[in-house]
Amino acid sequence: MIQNAEHLALFIEDALKSRRTCRIYQDALDLCWFFPSLDGRKTQSEHIHAFARTHGWSVQLHTPGGYGLVADFEPATPS
């Protein structure tokens, strides 16, 4: 079970060994980056993008109906 960003990184890394992408839903994202009041701090989205870059991944964020925020991680392509 994902409990924090470190666990999430291990989960994504393992998933990307056998799949092209790894989808993470709002409930797991909130365990790592939940901010009830942002007050000028980075948004959850900014934290997720920074997390992906740190681990060599790209991430697409979207909000399909009924699921809240969804993050699709994949290995970053060299630019």
User: Closest Cα to residue 55, out of 13, 3, 4, 1?
Assistant: 13
Confidence of residue 55 (pLDDT cuts 50, 70, 90): very high
Provide the domain limits for residue 26.
Answer: 5-75
pTM of the model: 0.85
For 40, residues 6+ apart whose C-beta sits below 8 A from its C-beta are none
Cβ pair 57, 8 in contact under 8 A: no
Cβ pair 33, 44 in contact under 8 A: yes
- Per-residue model confidence as pLDDT tens digits over 3-30: 899 999 999 999 999 999 999 999 999 8
Domains of the chain: total: 1
DSSP 8-state code for residue 62:
E
